[in-house]
Structure 1
């Protein structure tokens, strides 16, 4: 069964069009990530799916049922917010049971669901604590647990890791991925962080200015981007774009090459000078300014003794490059 189907979804606030003719299908059990820069419409789209915003036009169907006129509480969804949205005066257990009590679920059903979620999220030791007694990561797990006990048709996550530090973000990301495997649930996850998108998603939806730029698996989008925007958005460090530093490049054409596909080579195509070195232990990133005043990022595996000011020559394999026209559209190689 299809978990979610969107057809020609548009959303306007007054004269401002925020979402523009969005079509999307989320299959049952699929983990889909909406990614894009701030203001691209990804959170608004999530709110339209949840029923927190009404679509100006178009159809939202969840589990095969059109829900445009259905209240959020009746859509069979559970939402996890960036801010956790926990009741500060209630314990962990009470926060997780409140929605089920409001649904008038039997006590044995409530206890069974909550106990299962508490064990799954390793919250057994914290069930009698209030949110103020928990760390940020623990609060986020409680918010996720509150969603799990609802047993929804569709989980919606709105930038749930934004308030966590780097180490907690990675740990919680792993927990969410593990949760998806255990539940085999349909999930939609909104983030501006392309690392989260690449590591969590079965399918990524890249949005810009209220439109879908491309949809596909993480490696499909990484290896075969439809345009310059997608190519530059996915990947860390991001793709290099050159217009002047490569001999024979046609007028109005941009050459894209990822940092890991550039190498130090005496017989390379590009001459430049190192302006910055990032020593990351396992990797070394070089920022190189070319003779044509274009700045490139070079990602080298391992540790290298390169220094700021060194003159270098860079090479690349043409098979690992991308070409884009003046409008940023991908030019397919012949």
Structure 2
């Protein structure tokens, strides 16, 4: 139905190597998210899968069939972009059905698919409206509906929520997760937002510098990062890093401790420090402190805690929660 295999996929723009040999298997029905910083190659990789960019070398297979030379319209994919790309003069109904109409699909089939998609996306009341009469979230649902009616083998999403405000992003994440469960479709999704990646994905692909750094479930990446880059990229607030030599660990170069795995006390603990800033978030309190022994630390405490800049505190890492990394940046297990 919708499996994908990438083998040694490379992409260069002149002398610049954007993708440096990507190998990846996506199973039928999986929700896979490409995540990484700007310029890591994630959007280029998605466009190569869609056929909007050619590979420099390598193989792309969808359901076992080589598609590297197949035009986008014949790959069995549907793409949802960051921009909604709706025709302003067409109604919601006509925007959703336009691709099928252009492909010569029977009118009755178009109407039935649009009806089903609009019901899934709660768009029935808006079918006769034009895009200018819709909110940003409604327009994005129309763009998703346009993809659904094509019944593709692969759904490709390119940062689809980045134009929405925070509340709408949360709502649309729930909508997309529900759609994935209902459609049981293969979805590949690009984002720079690790919260989207952690909350939506069956499998996350972390890219940096055109190379896959790690592939795994959200909690695999969170609990067992393969290297310093993944450890620092996944998780918010970010993992603390300490020079291992400061703590007498000669077998590692760097130690990593997540902010929620550090306890604070006013009386005693392993590392004494001074509070330099506090963020009161209601459910959490984020405390930043400077310690002579380990440097700057970020500590995440659950609930409300009354620390203030200038307070002397003692930080203690949780037993078994310290990550060790070698001189090459790779995790030591």
Which TM bucket (shorter chain)? over 0.9
1:243 match: 243
Q: Please, what is the CA RMSD of the aligned residues?
A: 1.3
Mean CA deviation greater in 1-10 or 240-249: 240-249
Structure 1 runs of 4+ aligned residues shifted over 3 Å read none
TM-superposition CA deviations, 1:125-155 (whole Å, max 9, x none):
1111111111110010000000000000000
For residues 39-89 of structure 1, give each alpha carbon's deviation from its aligned partner in whole angstroms, at most 9, with x where no partner exists: 000000000000000000000011111101101011000000001111111
Q: Does the alignment pair 1:67 with 2:51? A: no
Question: After alignment, is 108-117 or 264-273 more displaced?
Answer: 264-273
Residue 6 of structure 2 aligns to a residue whose secondary structure is: strand
The answer to whether the aligner puts 1:45 opposite 2:36 as a matched pair is no
**Residue of structure 2 in register with 1:193 after alignment:** 193
Aligned CA distance change for structure 1 residues 141 and 39 (closer, same or farther; 3 Å): same
- Provide the rounded CA distance (Å) in 2 between the counterparts of 1:142 and 1:75: 22
Q: Is the Cα contact below 8 Å between 2:36 and 2:206 reproduced in 1?
A: yes
Per-residue CA deviation, residues 154-193 of structure 1 (Å, 9 max, x unaligned), is 0000000000000000000110000000000000000000
Equivalent residue for 1:127?
A: 127
CA shift for structure 1 position 253:
1.2
- Structure 1, unpaired ranges of 5+: none
- Greater alpha carbon shift after TM alignment, 219-228 vs 248-257: 248-257
TM-score (structure 1 length as normaliser): 0.97
* TM-score under structure 2 length normalisation: 0.97
> 1:267 and 1:248, CA in 2 relative to 1: closer, same or farther beyond 3 A?
farther
Contact in 2 for aligned 1:240/1:257 (Cα 8 Å): yes
Q: What pairs up with 1:88-237 in 2 under 5 angstroms?
A: 88-237=88-237
Residue 296 (structure 1) shift = 1.0
Inter-CA distance 100–327: structure 2 relative to 1 (3 Å threshold) = same
> Shift in Å at residue 3 of structure 1?
1.1
Q: Aligned-pair distance for 1:107? A: 1.1
Cα shift at 1:198: 0.3
Unaligned runs of 5+ in 2: none
Contact 1:246 / 1:270 at 8 angstroms: preserved in 2? no
Match of 1:314 in 2: 315
